[in-house]
Amino acid sequence: MKNFTNKLPALLGLTVVSGLSAQTTAHPNVIYVFPDQFRNCGLHFWNDDAFKSYVNFKADPTHTPQLDKFAREAVVLSSAQSNCPLSSPHRAMLFTGLYPDANGVTLNCLDKRPVSNLRADVTTISDVFSRNGYDCGYIGKYHLDYPTPNDPQRPGQYVDEREPAWDAYTPKERRHGFNFWYSYGTFDEHKNPHYWDSDGNRHDPKEWSPKHEADKAIEYLTSVRDKNKPFFLVVSMNPPHSPYQSLNDCMEEDFNLYKDIPLSKLLVRPNVNPELTKKQKAAPYYFANVSGVDREFGRILSALKAMGLDKNTIVVFSSDHGETLASHVEDAKNSPYTEAMNVPFIIRYPEKLKPHVSNLLLSTPDIMPTLLTLAGLNDRIPTGVEGTDLSAEFINLKPTKNAPKAVLYIRDADGKKNAEKKTIAYFPVARGLKTERYTLALTIDKKTNKLAEVLLFDDLKDPYQMNNLPVEKNKELFRSLCKLMPELLKKANDPWYREKVLSDIIPYK
Ligand code: CA
């Protein structure tokens, strides 16, 4: 198979519907809060009576009082999936409504990977909001920019002195309509974060990053934004992303909630891998970060309410992907396991959405067109968007016959490298899907393109995915799931569809 370099999607003709004009404040405000690596089962309320009948798993014994209360006022999805459960690919799909091959971000962004870079000509959700009269603010981790040597304080150098460079400074021309900026690329010292503001000045506040970011969000809401406009505010907190090993990573008041509880009582899910002892010991720190994020999210909600903005504001709480913690494999993400793919998705919009729990299978690219429609901008969704507007599925109390039957799973790997050892092509190493009941992941060999591994789980009978069903004994099931693949792959304009990968198994037309 070819190595892929994202050339084809230029043909998609991504343009915005013309005739844009400033909108009035009749359009709702939108706040999108998404901490990094927050697994859906990390939400305490799934253990509560009002919610537990909707899921078949045990949630973590966390304390998330703010999210528990918020969930009762919102539409709560039990089965929202991060199609490619990795930072940069998720963020690109979220903002563009396009799958990775079309938006250019197939792997995490770092300077050694020029292949994974948001296409310059894409129209993002913030572009649309900005062009339609919104004030747009971004706070926190961005991780959607290919690092270049553009440090505003040290011209000609990368902001990240490490090799390879992961962190990035996003200059004005790459901010896609965000007029307020307080952000960085990616950096993992939770109590020593840094940010570049709208003018490129660097700030090193030396405090736990979600607290600092909530303060910034409140400042934006109360005094920074243009109050003659509706606003679109994104807050991207890094915790509960690793590191989660000590009090350097979380607030002591949150750690104290868990420090005296034995690991056996914290790790309640039966799929804990006994070999992952370091990840087991991380549990109280991971949960402390979950509780701290909960508190800071609650502070943003309180500020919104105090300003009387809670009714006409769409508030979303989600995450870029989950965290397998001490289950399955060492890598916390980038796998088809439920703990990695299943993310929180809680959306509150009192004027249009009646609180309820839904098992809607939401894909990441669906979020952009859905939010734009809920905000009254459905006629401004860029042409060529691959995600589906599922706003009706949020307004209805139950998924309709039009609701998605499956979501695509995507995993890419580094492909061809140039003389400078930079990755200039990617290899689409695994594809699969999740239905309401099953998980299927097909991995291919990099040299032969032949099937190398199959993961097949019955998530109804085996919610912790402890029994990989052998294909030989489940031929009919395997065939029926493979039959769903072509349509999903086609919709994503995926290289597997274009190259008819595993055509002996997947029934392409
Ligand atoms: Ca991430």
Phi, psi of 8, deg, nearest 5: -55, -40
CA of 483 to the centre of ligand 1 (A): 31
Output the CA–CA distances (angstroms, integers) from residue 385 to 95, 147, 381, in the order listed: 11, 26, 7
Could you please report the per-residue DSSP string of 187-240?
---TTS--EEETTS-EE---S-HHHHHHHHHHHIIIIIS-TTS-EEEEEE--TT
CA of 221 to the centre of ligand 1 (A): 26
Distance 349 CA to ligand 1 centre (A): 26
CA distance 280 to 326: 5
**Directed axis angle between helix 209-219 and helix 277-306, to 10°?**
20
Distance 413 CA to ligand 1 centre (A): 16
According to the CATH classification, is domain 406-499 in 3.40.50.620?
no
Q: Quick one: pLDDT at residue 459?
A: 98
**Alpha carbon of 88 to ligand 1 centroid (Å):** 7
Cα(232) to ligand 1 centroid in Å equals 22
310-358 pLDDT tens trace: 999 999 999 999 999 999 999 999 999 999 999 999 999 999 999 999 9
The structure tokens listed for 81 are 């999936």
pTM for the full model? 0.95
pLDDT tens-digit series, residues 94-117: 999 999 999 999 999 999 999 999
Task: Tell whether omega for the bond before 243 is within 30 degrees of 0, i.e. cis.
Answer: yes
| Residue ranges, CATH 3.40.720.10, the chain | 27-395
In the sheet with 356-358, reading across from the earlier edge strand, the strands are: 202-203, 195-197, 180-184, 135-141, 231-236, 29-33, 313-318, 345-348, 75-77, 356-358
Task: Give 275 Cα–ligand 1 centroid separation in angstroms.
Answer: 24
CA of 107 to the centre of ligand 1 (A): 11
Is residue 223 predicted with pLDDT exceeding 90?
A: yes
CA distance 316 to 445: 39
CA of 210 to the centre of ligand 1 (A): 15
The backbone torsions φ and ψ at residue 244, rounded to the nearest 5 degrees and listed phi first, read -145, 70
Distance 132 CA to ligand 1 centre (A): 29
Ligand 1: centre distance to CA 321 (Å): 6
Which CATH number is 27-395's, of 3.30.2270.10, 3.40.50.150, 3.10.20.30, 3.40.720.10?
A: 3.40.720.10
Q: How far is the CA of 42 from the centre of ligand 1 (A)?
A: 15
Tell me phi and psi for residue 172, to 5 degrees: -50, -45
Question: Where in the sequence of the chain do the CATH 3.30.1120.10 domains occur?
Answer: 406-499
Distance 49 CA to ligand 1 centre (A): 31
State in Å, rounded, how far the first CA of the chain is from the last one: 19
Residues with CB under 5 A from ligand 1 (ion): 36, 87, 320
Give the model confidence (pLDDT) of 170-214 as tens digits. 999 999 999 999 999 999 999 999 999 999 999 999 999 999 999
Ligand 1 center to 320 CA (angstroms):
6
- CA of residue 470 to ligand 1 center, whole Å: 31
- pLDDT, one tens digit per residue, over 13-52 is 444 443 334 434 489 999 999 999 999 999 999 999 999 9
